[in-house]
Structure 1
Amino acid sequence: MRELARKGFDAVYSELNLDSPEVVEVPRVLANTCQLITGIDNEQWRIQGIPEDLAEQQKQGERFFGSRGINMFATCTPYQVGNVPVKGGHCAWMESSAVVYCNAVLGARTNTEGKESTGAAALTGRIPYWGYHIPDYRRGTHLVDIAIDVDDIMDWGLLGYHLGGVIDDEIPVLTGRCRQPSLIKLKHFGAAAASSGGIEMYHIPDVTPEARSVEEAFGGNRVRGTVRYGEAERVAFENLNCATDRDVDFVMLGCPHNSIDQVWLIASLLEGRKISPNTQLWVHTPRALREVADRNGYTKMISEAGGFVMSDTCPAISRQMPQGTKVVATDSAKQAHYLPAITGVQAWFGSVKDCVEAAITGRWSGGLR
């Protein structure tokens, strides 16, 4: 990347976003375009362990691409900071948790694109008409009977992780005892389902915009299978908790990136307390929301406890964690799924409260409720 950047950022875009060895002068984009999550926090790069020249290179790149009309949101949750397509709008998104949110929660239309197709779409304002852009391909395939209460964020993460494993890339229609979910819970549900499987679309009758009823969700399609989710299926919790060592080096909160309400929850749980000297806590939120957290005093509350508020990235994308990390605790099913495979660490998955307690004590004591 360093060598490529020396040729100029037109060369970077041509190679990485257009798969072109020929350098194309990048014009202003035609489509509403944003930069998703990156590998470097522009302010906390030293905490990440990023070399200074790479941090400066990213800042230069952002200035260049910003001048071409690309919004530097630098988050996996662009819908939390202003990129909110309308129902039926055609998009070219590539981050898995953002794709399923776009399709299911917003009712806009996108496939999981690659950097080459999204790069071309930004310049041309066009994307091939296939997959989830076509109404017939957005209808439900499997009926999910939720036989236990699914309420808090951890519950929704477990449900998503289980369904991704058994349904793969089909379209579940959720019924039963799932209480009215918040957008935060749907964010975690979709991220988990896209991690264990390839779910890019789901329906919850009378909640998501393309399903006022079960019948509308299936749109005349036959039900290919029925999945029951009960106590026995919560075994997903055991699958996610691959760790054996209860001494926790690192607590990561915010994948997908935290909303401002989630940052406040973490800050309130930390108020007046101190993080273990043997543990680091990173709280991830979009850059625009970190400014809100700064103004609200949440960042100060977290930093006074010994934690860091991070933006623009996450450990799975940057491959960066505190030096010597062996055991991670996280509220993200997605991070618990990927970090052991990517970095070789052990991972504990649980609620936000469990993770904060692990940061305070340096020990994991969480579990199912």
Structure 2
Amino acid sequence: MQLTPDEKAMLDGRDGPAVQAAMDLLMRYGRALGAERLVETNNVVASISATTPFMRDYAMQRGGMDAVFSEFSLDSDVPVTIPKVKTFTTHVQLGFDPGNAARMGVDEQTVQFYKKGEAYITGLGVQATNTCTPYQVGNIPTRGEHCAWMESSAVIYCNAVIGARTNTEGRESVGAAMLTGRIPYWGYHVDENRLGTHSVHIATDVITTADWGMLGYWIGEEVQGRVPVIEGWSKLPNLSRLKHFGAAASSSGGVEMCHIVGVTPEANTREQAFGRNTPREALTFDAQARQRTWERLNSTAKRQEVDYVMLGCPHYTIEQIWEAARLLEGRRVHENTELWIFTPRAIKSLADRNGYTAIIEAAGGHLMTDSCSAMSRAAPKGTRTVALDSAKQAHYLPAILGVEAWFGSTAECIDAACDGRFNGRSPS
């Protein structure tokens, strides 16, 4: 790999052992990818804290959070002192909501360790945003900016909606990036790799958040990790719809980059999206495809009674919380059902001030932060059947928790929470 003089100096130890270890990791990572050089970045989304008993015990045995960072973020068996980060870094979601730890089955010892871990990351200069949707809480890169982001649904939003550039990174590569301001130049950092590969035409109504979730899920299954170019939408999607679309596409197929013609910054036209590429395949999302996708997302569900309704994967926007509060106001969650809604801390603060949290709690629901049921592996005790408005969560939660899952609209999920039964309808 070709290094600049500054990069060589970091590798030679000029900035201390932690930065040297980070550069060594990036060199090994880049060579494995076939990257010829590194690229500068000042925008990282990372996971460096620890919220599990295993991490807690490891930190206690090895001498603290520096040892955790050294082992799990720098691949270093020898603990090194971690300096303040060089890049603007926001933190992804964690293992539980510290304000609802008991509800999520987390003991007080783990909560105290969580608080120590948060003090550690903020001490390094990392923003404790604790969300899978960093673009909701201030991390909004500019078009063309090179980033190093974790979290698959955030990556596709970064690439396809904002027009910045990132691959789906892991804990190690982002740990190294935040200390060096570098990431390997490969994948979706490179112009030619961002061009479209598959043509997708929408031939049915795709309007609601659930519709966009089903479209994303279907596209992911069809194209896997390639770059679809999507045309034919009839109503401009907003943040919430694009968020759910990307989360679904990255779950069912690993899509990291796509072009929605007229929405994606690099796709004002179909011709711009494909560039010199010829589409490998032309696909059509019609009413039949949407029906099959709905059936697939609901394939684990048999029992009508719903024990748990989980909303907020990816984390809910303030608009979605406003919608949920409107749907809940004056109603009551069923005595046999729990309703948990997950959002970033910063958004919950806004919901508190606007009175939405009070409406949700008065109905018997809970507005929670920092995590979700997939990350925490937590659900109300005895949960057998869950209702979700997230195609991503409908994909993952049955396997993670061994539950049945109903997928439907937000309104259908709120109805399920209040009725104790899922009565959603298929699109047909």
Do these two structures clear the TM 0.5 threshold for a shared fold by scoring above it? Answer: yes
The residue number in structure 2 matching 1:238 is 295
Show structure 1 runs of 4+ deviating over 2 A.
Answer: none
What CA distance in whole angstroms lies between the structure 2 residues aligned with 1:263 and 1:177? 25
Give 1:28 deviation, angstroms: 0.5
SS of the counterpart of 1:30? Answer: coil
Number of positions where the alignment pairs a residue of Structure 1 with one of Structure 2: 369
Letter in 2 for 1:95: E
SS of the counterpart of 2:302? Answer: coil
Residue of structure 1 aligned with 2:196, choices 136, 140, 143: 140
The residue number in structure 1 matching 2:259 is 203
Deviations 1:87-141 (A, max 9, x none): 1111111100000000000101000111000100011100000000001100000
What CA distance in whole angstroms lies between the structure 2 residues aligned with 1:177 and 1:101? 18
Letter in 2 for 1:4: Y
Give 1:14 deviation, angstroms: 1.1
What CA distance in whole angstroms lies between the structure 2 residues aligned with 1:356 and 1:16? 40
Matches within 5 A, 1:318-329: 318-329=376-387
Letter in 2 for 1:118: V
Matches within 5 A, 1:1-369: 1-6=55-60, 7-234=63-290, 235-241=292-298, 242-369=300-427
What CA distance in whole angstroms lies between the structure 2 residues aligned with 1:73 and 1:161? 27
Give 1:368 deviation, angstroms: 2.5
Deviations 1:163-199 (A, max 9, x none): 1001100111111134211111111000000000010
What CA distance in whole angstroms lies between the structure 2 residues aligned with 1:236 and 1:47? 33
Task: Give the greater-gyration-radius structure (CA).
Answer: 2
In structure 1, the gaps of 5 or more residues are: none
SS of the counterpart of 1:127? Answer: strand
Letter in 1 for 2:373: P
Deviations 1:213-236 (A, max 9, x none): 000000111111100110111111
Letter in 2 for 1:179: K
What CA distance in whole angstroms lies between the structure 2 residues aligned with 1:60 and 1:116? 21
What CA distance in whole angstroms lies between the structure 1 residues aligned with 2:71 and 2:378? 24
Q: Which moved more, 1:171-180 or 1:113-122?
A: 171-180
What CA distance in whole angstroms lies between the structure 1 residues aligned with 2:265 and 2:127? 27
What CA distance in whole angstroms lies between the structure 1 residues aligned with 2:80 and 2:297? 44
SS of the counterpart of 2:387? Answer: strand
Could you say what the CA RMSD is over the residues aligned between the two structures, in angstroms? 0.8
What CA distance in whole angstroms lies between the structure 1 residues aligned with 2:404 and 2:392? 14
SS of the counterpart of 1:37? Answer: coil
Give 1:299 deviation, angstroms: 0.3
After TM superposition, the score normalised by the length of structure 2 is 0.85
What CA distance in whole angstroms lies between the structure 2 residues aligned with 1:104 and 1:40? 29
Q: Which moved more, 1:13-22 or 1:318-327?
A: 13-22
What CA distance in whole angstroms lies between the structure 2 residues aligned with 1:332 and 1:17? 30
Give 1:151 deviation, angstroms: 0.5
What CA distance in whole angstroms lies between the structure 1 residues aligned with 2:336 and 2:57? 38
Give 1:256 deviation, angstroms: 0.4
In structure 2, the gaps of 5 or more residues are: 1-54
After TM superposition, the score normalised by the length of structure 1 is 0.99
SS of the counterpart of 2:157? Answer: helix
The residue number in structure 1 matching 2:32 is none
Give 1:4 deviation, angstroms: 1.4
Question: Structure 1 vs Structure 2: percent identity of aligned residues?
Answer: 54
Q: Which moved more, 1:299-308 or 1:177-186?
A: 177-186
What CA distance in whole angstroms lies between the structure 1 residues aligned with 2:355 and 2:426? 32
Give 1:310 deviation, angstroms: 0.5
Letter in 2 for 1:42: P
What CA distance in whole angstroms lies between the structure 1 residues aligned with 2:384 and 2:69? 36
Letter in 2 for 1:344: G
